[in-house]
Structure 1
């Protein structure tokens, strides 16, 4: 078996990004990953949702991307790899939008499946958060967002809102669900996430700077990556660190997806 064939999947892979960023920007959200997978023969597509969109609207945009991927590849199903809030949008697509039959697997990376306390803290900063949200939405529209809703998106990942979300979006038995979490611990390879990690640590314990491992657990929990930040988990910084080699991690992940294809 050739080198490329070790990673090539039968089904396309759809990468579903998280909040506050776009798939392709001056610093690509997924770093080196799309080019790496394509070089190994994998059909890679993006979710294409808004940076600051609410879950329902974003999930519908992911659904359009999913249908495009299936039409172009001629395959009946796809693998979804989702980061952060993108995991919630993928779950909504599967459950509320009823597209579980089109999804072979959903892999969630630091998705706040039980809420993100940092969002709750920020939402209490009145009136600062309202003023910032207006500016953020204007910026988002200039960069392609069709329906930015900063405050609504923030409220959707509070612990109270997630309880309702989980009740309304049960798992689909046709889909294989798996997840990973991460914790930054004492790593200082990502100064921005180290700052938010320091704020959250006394309140909720270890996080990757935004999401706690306990919140990330859903379906088959594959484990907690140590010394890895929320951003480093998706290679958005485009580099290896002493504790984490993103492309090696995703190579193993994708090899595992091949085993789900029969």
Structure 2
């Protein structure tokens, strides 16, 4: 009996080994236009061996995508960051001759990408918002309430966060970019986001938790986000996101942004079992092992854009 069981196990293992490894079709991520990744608050391109978009650029390039990682101010207003991104988009288009780009923005990178699409829709094929702060964040609202502009607490907080932003920028090779933590916080607040959306409404849902226009002025809009602040016991950042997630009460959120606020254009999903950092495969790939790998979501989005001729 035991020998038959062992033979069955060996046969099963041989069958598994003999099966072809899962693979993606050649050109799966090969979009017509280059993909530009836009980081969020306190974001960067690369610091040493650590990428903000951990493992994502290489995964997209592996099957044909041309991928560029933008570097904008770690902290500043959406408009300032947007102008920085616009300058880089122009450079990428000039270098590639592509005519347009596909923008994928995480967190504050969502509104930053939307700004470029709003002021120069002719240069943008699509905007994909990942955990984007499209209708503000209650965490930013709380920070403004605790440390209002002009207060001593605000001055201390701004000094610390601006210093951290400069340090991040220096380490990632982006020294010289202006940092303004107060301006970033205002942009990410509910009131600041409302003012921004009045000027740049494209793709933003007109209802509290609906979908926005899938396409406006030739630009396609997409979004997805997580809804689980704590996902991996080994990730040292997860407890902090679980704490900030309390700001949203019973509303679905990823620890920093509510699911409803993240919605833009065609909503792929707003309830992945991911937190705000999982959405960019951080911290260094320590994400929810029971959820789709975040890298796969970016590959699927590239394929979605490819199939639309973008």
TM-score of the two chains, using structure 1 as the length reference: 0.91
Which secondary structure does the structure 2 equivalent of 1:178 belong to? strand
Tell me the equivalent position of 1:13.
35
Which secondary structure does the structure 2 equivalent of 1:89 belong to? helix
Write the distance in 1 (CA, Å) between the matches of 2:163 and 2:231: 34
Tell me the equivalent position of 1:149.
180
Write the distance in 2 (CA, Å) between the matches of 1:88 and 1:215: 11
Write the distance in 2 (CA, Å) between the matches of 1:40 and 1:210: 32
Write the distance in 2 (CA, Å) between the matches of 1:203 and 1:64: 35
Q: Larger radius of gyration, structure 1 or 2?
A: 2
1:128-167 matched pairs, under 5 angstroms: 128-142=153-167, 143=170, 144-167=175-198
Tell me the equivalent position of 1:24.
46
CA RMSD of aligned residues (A): 2.0
Q: Are 1:125 and 2:159 an aligned pair?
A: no
Unpaired runs of 5+ residues, structure 1, are none
Tell me the equivalent position of 1:234.
280
Tell me the equivalent position of 1:224.
270
Question: Where does structure 1 differ by over 6 angstroms across 4 or more consecutive aligned residues?
Answer: none
TM-score of the two chains, using structure 2 as the length reference: 0.77
Q: Are 1:116 and 2:120 an aligned pair?
A: no
Please report how far the alpha carbon of residue 125 of structure 1 lies from its aligned counterpart in structure 2 after TM superposition: 2.8
Which secondary structure does the structure 1 equivalent of 2:27 belong to? helix
Unpaired runs of 5+ residues, structure 2, are 1-23, 203-215
| Distance verdict in 2 for CA 1:70–1:199, change over 3 Å | closer
Write the distance in 1 (CA, Å) between the matches of 2:76 and 2:47: 17
Please report how far the alpha carbon of residue 193 of structure 1 lies from its aligned counterpart in structure 2 after TM superposition: 3.8
Q: Any conservation in 2 of the 1:51–1:145 contact (CA below 8 Å)?
A: no
Residue in structure 2 matching 1:88, options 76, 92, 111: 111
Q: Are 1:209 and 2:255 an aligned pair?
A: yes
| Distance verdict in 2 for CA 1:145–1:214, change over 3 Å | farther
Please report how far the alpha carbon of residue 140 of structure 1 lies from its aligned counterpart in structure 2 after TM superposition: 2.7
Q: Between Structure 1 and Structure 2, how many residues are aligned?
A: 259
